[in-house]
Amino acid sequence: MSALRHVIARVPNAIPVLLDAKRGDIGSTAAAYARAAFEVWSADAVTVNPYLGADGVMPFMAYPGKAVFLLLPHLQSLGRGDPKLWA
């Protein structure tokens, strides 16, 4: 983890930091992952696995000004449109 901290610290402010974390878990754990990505690591964006549905994605989307990239192969698990995700 110290290597990641070292690299992120050297990224110029004009360049966004994307954590390719591919996180996806139940709501409470997803919230902890989101806090870590955006508050601890100060990432600007993160990749998220939506396999478990909106509960695993929404904690990441609760951070204004941050980007969330969903893994496309798993979007089918969300059915034909989870209104919590697409609203």
Rounded Cα distance between 13 and 1, Å, is: 20
Which of the following is catalytic: 5, 22, 28, 62?
A: 22
pTM metric for this prediction: 0.78
Q: Per residue in 10-23, pLDDT tens? A: 999 999 999 998 88
Does the active-site annotation cover 66?
A: no
Q: Are strands 67-70 and 18-23 parallel, antiparallel or unpaired?
A: unpaired
Q: Is the pLDDT of residue 78 over 80?
A: no
DSSP string, 48-85: E-GGG-GGGTHHHHTSTT-EEEE-GGGGGGGTT--HHH
